[in-house]
A and B are shown apart, each in its own frame.
Chain A
Amino acid sequence: MAAVKLVELAHARSGDKGDVVNIGVVAYDPEHYPLLVQALTAGRVQEHFGDMVKGKVVRYELPNLHALNFVLPGALGGGGTVSLMMDAQGKVFSTALLRMDVEVPDEVAGRVRGRGRIPQSRHPNGEDTHG
């Protein structure tokens, strides 16, 4: 087994309903969906976010879409215009979840390594990108 980042296995989108964030996590490869079901338990996600989420995390499964939906109550500092958070509508909350380490079989790790990130050949690290 080897650790990869969730961002290498899945893409995600998040949004708000009041003070609640939902994060939809979608496996890039349908055959990795069972890995996500196993690794991304509601408890594991709760633990990952710690104090960032005040309420109890609930997980829903969408096997046809090889996706999981997490509902995170009390994550937006009151939500809407009450919230003083930069990301008051939870638009990039998804990316905080994609930081999570996930244990996968070695051959899966070998195949997904680097996925979800811009290829180095395209990375904007040249001087011409400043200005």
Chain B
Amino acid sequence: MRERGGGARTVRVAGAGGFWGDDLDAPVRQVEEGPIDYLVMDYLAEVTMSILHKQRARDPEAGYARDFVALMERILPVCLERGIRVVANAGGVNPGGCADEVARAARRAGVAGRLRLGVVTGDDLMPRLDELLAAGHELRNMETGEPLAGIRERVTGANVYLGAFPIAEALGRGADVVVTGRCVDAALTLAPLLHEFGWAAGDHDRLAAGVVAGHVNECGAQCTGGNAMPEWWSIPDLDRVGFPIIEAEPSGDFVVTKHEGSGGRVSPATVTEQIVYEIGDPAAYPTPDVVADFTTVRLSGAGKDRVRVTGACGRPPNGWLKASIVYAGGWRAVGTLVYAWPDAAAKARAAARVLRARLDRLGLRFDEVRTDLVGWDSTHGPLAGPPPPDLPEVQLRVAVRGSERAPVERFTREVAPLVLTGPPSVTGFGEGRPRVREVAAFWPALVPRAAVEPFVRVETREA
């Protein structure tokens, strides 16, 4: 905990990544461009989890965010020197393997023996799935109500979303770096606040404030001017956009800001856009630690690129945790071609009819075939209205999905022939045949809290 301006105790939690693939240098800028106490990174989207499950299936040592290891090698010395602690769900589906690699990275960086490494596990339900089913938990799909039994043999991974307390425990036991598997994104930010301020499980309003802070922080620059609509053309220097910093106080009130001199913008409008991102009922945002009410939150400007957030309220969580189960959902491929003026849209549609007729004649069966005109209706659908007659060009996009691989594979060979056998003025086939991809389908389910046991390990390793 640091003493800062005015003697108020604040903790600065820097968000440095909103998904695996986000700005590689953001964590470095967060560490180097100004004072922070914690660096937190979210690597796990549902699609990322399915990729990691596949990687681990091929190689038991894999299944985590490798970029995190390279990053740690780069910034660990300076983090340890300045007392900046790192929390990341980089562990993916193999937190232990990730921690082993971070330990090796620490040795390469010359800080082995100085690093206390925390690992949070217990989110992996895959080894326990049949035990849970046998105990009478049906793991029904939250969207469809169907029991898991119907797709059990196709399940490739199952993880439950853990909360912030296990991470806070690792920090309490002295971890400089905490690697987790699946946890709610907001937990990465909430956990340092639990640890620093000693908030208890029953401090619902403060926990809710920490969840709001975490929700704002969890998508990186999406709250600091990235992907922000309000006067986007006037947002400065997105090439070196400042990632968010939460300046939290023991009361739960916090300020959202970014490093001085960095690009982007923090305003009530950019923060509000992030608060409403990917939520359901804003009065009941569920997490394992608290049910947060976003409707009581108030924002106010607190200087240039500073927004003060107050008023969050919370209620106790219920007895269930959300699990995300991944199962094999068949195969898919997407083929594209570009048609040029005149009558670009009409040519593209005619080409789609030719293609579909050929697929039918070949007797290929798909669960779905979808045709869109990119540049016209692929995002706004029927709301786009009829295409203007002078559309200079349009991309035909045909996508197929099926339970068998072979028909999808054959589809990928039927797109290019349209260039010489279909309507005229066509190009854009330079990327070659479409790739066949496996579909990872998601099965959201609830698991009783009592059936889940997080496990925290903190140790110094010589690697």
B132 interface residue (CB < 8 Å to A): no
* Contact status A13-B383, CB under 8 Å: no
Q: Which residues of A contact B400 (CB under 8 A)?
A: 84
Chain B: interface secondary structure? mixed
Indicate whether A102 reaches chain B with its CB closer than 8 angstroms: no
B277 within 8 A of A: yes
Stretch at the interface among B351-359, B372-380, B417-425: B372-380
A-B contact count (CB 8 A): 132
B279 touches A69 (CB 8 A): yes
A131 at the interface (CB under 8 A from B): no
Of A60, A79, A93, the residue contacting B282 (CB under 8 A) is A60
| Contact A95:B380 (CB < 8 A) given known A26-B272, A62-B282 | yes
Of the A-B pairs whose beta carbons lie under 8 Å apart in the complex, a sample of 12, sorted by A's number, is A11-B230, A13-B227, A18-B444, A25-B276, A28-B230, A28-B269, A60-B282, A65-B299, A82-B401, A82-B439, A95-B379, A116-B229
Tell me the complex Cα distance, A20–B281, Å. Answer: 13
Interface positions of B (Cβ within 8 A of A):
46-47, 50, 143, 227-230, 233, 269, 272-283, 294-299, 311, 329, 332, 334, 368, 370, 372, 374, 378-383, 397, 399-401, 437, 439-442, 444
Closest chain-A Cβ to B209's Cβ sits at a distance in Å of: 14
**On chain A, which size bracket covers the interface?**
35 or more
- Is there an interface contact between B47 and A80, defined as CB atoms closer than 8 Å? yes
Q: For A118, give the chain B residue with the smallest CB separation.
A: B233
Secondary structure type dominating chain A contacts:
mixed
> Contact check: which of B298, B332, B379, B442 meets A96 at CB < 8 Å?
B379
Chain A residue nearest to B366 in the complex (CB): A84
Tell me, yes or no, whether A127 is within 8 Å of chain B by CB.
Answer: no
Q: Residue B440 contacts which of A26, A81, A84, A92 (CB distance < 8 angstroms)?
A: A81
Cβ of A43 under 8 Å from chain B? no
Known: A49-B383, A67-B272, A99-B380. 5 other contacts (CB 8 A): A18-B143, A26-B272, A28-B269, A52-B381, A80-B440
Determine whether A15 belongs to the interface, using a CB cutoff of 8 Å to chain B. yes
Q: Most chain-A Cβ atoms within 10 A of its Cβ — which of B278, B296, B382?
A: B278
Contact A92 B439 (CB under 8 A): no
What residues of B have a CB within 8 angstroms of the CB of A48 in the complex? 383
B273 near A84 with CB under 8 A, answer no
- A12 at interface (Cβ–Cβ under 8 A)? yes
User: Is A22 an interface residue when CB atoms closer than 8 A count as contact?
Assistant: yes
| Cross-interface CB contact of B233 among A60, A71, A92, A119, cutoff 8 Å | A119
Contact B380 A81 (CB under 8 A): no
Does A106 count as interface, using CB distance less than 8 angstroms?
no
> Do the beta carbons of A26 and B276 come within 8 Å of each other?
yes
What CA separation (Å) do A64 and B311 show in the bound complex? 10
Of A51, A62, A63, which is within 8 A of B382 by CB?
A: A51
Residue of B nearest to A14 (CB): B277
A46, chain B: closest CB distance, angstroms: 13
- The residue that A84 contacts in the complex, of B279, B283, B297, B370, with Cβ under 8 A, is B370
Q: Which residues of the partner chain A approach B299 to less than 8 Å between Cβ atoms?
A: 64-65
Q: Contact at B442–A79, with CB atoms within 8 Å? A: yes
Leading 4 A-B pairs by shortest Cβ distance: A24-B276, A84-B399, A15-B278, A11-B229
Residue from B229, B329, B332 within 8 A of A12 (CB atoms): B229
A108 within 8 A of B: no
Interface-central residue, A50, A51, A84, by most chain B CB under 10 Å: A84
Residues of chain A lying within 8 A (CB to CB) of residue B372: 85-86
B219 nearest CB neighbor, chain A only: A15
Residues of B within 8 A of A15 (CB): 277-278
Which residues of A are found within 8 Å of B441, using beta-carbon distances? 78, 80-82
- Check if A69 sits within 8 Å of B401, measured CB to CB: no
Q: Contacts A80-B440, A81-B47 known; A61 to B276 CB distance under 8 Å?
A: no
Q: Report how far A11 CA is from B225 CA in the complex, Å.
A: 13
Most A CB contacts (10 A, CB to CB) among B299, B378, B379, B382 go to B379
In angstroms, how far is the closest chain B Cβ from the Cβ of A119?
7
The answer to whether B334 and A84 touch across the interface, beta carbons within 8 angstroms, is yes
Q: A69 to B274, alpha carbons, bound, how many Å?
A: 12
**A22: B residues at CB distance < 8 A:** 276, 278-280
* Complex: A79 Cα to B388 Cα, angstroms: 30
